[in-house]
Amino acid sequence: SVTPIKVLVTGAAGQIAYSLMFMIASGQMFGPYQPVILHLLDIPKMADALKGVVMELQDCSYPLLHSVVATTDVQTAFIHINVAILVGAFPRGPGMQRKDLLKVNVSIFKEQGEALNKYASRGVKVLVVGNPANTNALTALVKASDLPPSNFSALTRLDQNRAQSMISEKVGVNVDSVRNVIIWGNHSQTQVPDVNHGYILNYPNRGLIEPIQTSVNDDKWLNEQFIPLVQNRGATVIAARKLSSAASAANAIVGHVRDWLLGTKDGEHVSMAVYSDGSYNVPKGLIFSFPVTCRNGEWSIVQGLKINSSTQQKIDATTKELQEEKETAMSFLN
Ligand code: NAX
């Protein structure tokens, strides 16, 4: 029999987790033969709500769900985990300054970085979802000094999925035909959606592969509308739903972790915010969204893509924002 994989979800009584855990337990993340043990962490005031979620998980009778550890204790949550999905974070309240938000989240991700360092499996794969995701991931990474930086990532897959879905609508093809749209930089409104290396597969009557720009055939839309549509999609969902994206975030998390562990398809790359090694002149040591391919549980940044000047300007702006966030976060760590 296959050894169960231990998966931690923090923010387990929250909205995203309420979709995510059921996807994991049903086999969508690790495939139909891999049993899972779910470790669920939330804060003490959510302990009762968390119990309710555990009851619902039990009531699903998932054959792959080996067991559930639901807790408000950090050590119990982080012990021997193989995958950490860090969703819980402190939300920005009305009138709260960005800096104050960063400060509270630095304290959360400092504690969780230390817990990863002390208790998690040495090969643990960490995905940070809670915002500001890139900088929270960096905080955890810095505090987990015995773990390799390549074990850490932050989520920009939802932004990539949003972008690919918008392109598929515009062109009139199934979304599965839209490949290799890139999100560069921060998971914030400065993120850079980039279709210049993307293509459409099997576009009816147009051959096997066509660049997205050719299929869209509307540069004005691509330059002036598409980019802000993707950047503001999260806010647009909040305006409509009065709640932030949850099921689509869970779905993106599943795609991110599955591709990281099980590998990306030949000829295809996905966007993940990972520790910069200086590729594309992005300063080393930022958690920055790049196009990556994954094999044997390791990501590598796709090299050699030509960046045009308008994309480069936007990449410079998102880089600057991440450097400022990093400086602020690191000042709270010392
Ligand atoms: P909810 O407010 O519904 O749930 C968050 C949960 O985290 C709450 O139950 C809270 O008690 C818990 N929590 C807070 N501090 C904790 C701690 N120290 N340890 C464990 N649990 C803790 O938020 P939800 O809608 O689920 O969103 C969670 C986070 O994801 C937010 O920070 C949100 O901004 C972020 N998002 C990130 C996305 C991305 O693409 N990177 C997209 C979706 C989402 O907006």
pTM recorded for the entire structure:
0.97
Average pLDDT, the chain: 96
**C-alpha 15 to ligand 1 mean position (Å):** 8
**C-alpha 206 to ligand 1 mean position (Å):** 43
Token pair, residue 156, equals: 């920009």
Per-residue pLDDT averaged across 6-19, rounded? Answer: 98
Token pair, residue 14, equals: 């929250």
Under a CB-based contact definition with an 8 Å cutoff, are residues 83 and 5 in contact? yes
The residue whose C-alpha atom lies closest to atom 30 belonging to ligand 1 is 130
Q: Using CA atoms, how far apart are residues 332 and 328, in angstroms rounded to an integer?
A: 7
Per-residue pLDDT averaged across 310-316, rounded? Answer: 97
**pLDDT (0 to 100) of residue 100:** 87
115 CB under 6 A from ligand 1?
no
Give, in order, the Cα–Cα distances in Å from 249 to each of 160, 186, 206, 278, 288: 11, 16, 33, 28, 19
21 CB under 6 A from ligand 1?
no
Substitution candidate for ligand 1 out of 15, 16, 126, 271 with most atoms within 8 A of CB: 16
**pLDDT (0 to 100) of residue 330:** 96
Q: 206 pLDDT band (50/70/90 cuts)?
A: confident
Where would I find the beta strands (DSSP E) of 133-224?
152-154, 178-179, 182-184, 192-194, 199-201, 209-211
Per-residue pLDDT averaged across 322-328, rounded? Answer: 97
Biggest CA–CA distance in the chain, Å, is 60
Percent of the chain at pLDDT > 90 equals 93
245 CB under 6 A from ligand 1?
yes
**Helix 309-333 and helix 98-119, axial crossing angle in degrees, nearest 10:** 70
Where would I find the beta strands (DSSP E) of the chain?
5-10, 36-41, 65-71, 83-86, 125-128, 152-154, 178-179, 182-184, 192-194, 199-201, 209-211, 270-275, 287-295, 298-301
**C-alpha 40 to ligand 1 mean position (Å):** 13
Token pair, residue 93, equals: 């309240």
Quick one: DSSP state of residue 10? E
Atom of ligand 1 nearest to the CA of 88: 7
Per-residue pLDDT averaged across 291-314, rounded? Answer: 98
Atom of ligand 1 nearest to the CA of 16: 26
Task: Look at residue 207 and tell me whether its pLDDT is greater than 80.
Answer: no
Percent of the chain at pLDDT > 70 equals 100
**pLDDT (0 to 100) of residue 96:** 83
The pLDDT tens digits for 35-83 are 999 999 999 999 999 999 999 999 999 999 999 999 999 999 999 999 9
Q: Which of 39, 66, 187, 197 is catalytic?
A: 187
Substitution candidate for ligand 1 out of 18, 22, 42, 90 with most atoms within 8 A of CB: 42
Q: Using CA atoms, how far apart are residues 122 and 116, in angstroms rounded to an integer?
A: 9
Q: Is 80 a catalytic residue?
A: no
**pLDDT (0 to 100) of residue 203:** 77
Substitution candidate for ligand 1 out of 129, 138, 191 with most atoms within 8 A of CB: 129
Q: Using CA atoms, how far apart are residues 283 and 117, in angstroms rounded to an integer?
A: 25
Q: Which of 15-29, 82-96, 123-137, 177-191 has the lowest mean pLDDT?
A: 82-96
Tokens 């999100």 sit at which residue?
183
Phi, psi of 77 (to 5 degrees): -70, -40
Token pair, residue 268, equals: 């295809």
**pLDDT (0 to 100) of residue 25:** 98
Task: Look at residue 292 and tell me whether its pLDDT is greater than 90.
Answer: yes
89 CB under 6 A from ligand 1?
yes
The residue whose C-alpha atom lies closest to atom 4 belonging to ligand 1 is 14
For Cα atoms 190, 254, 175, give the angle at the middle one, nearest 5 degrees: 70
297 CB under 6 A from ligand 1?
no
**pLDDT (0 to 100) of residue 306:** 98
Per-residue pLDDT averaged across 133-153, rounded? Answer: 98
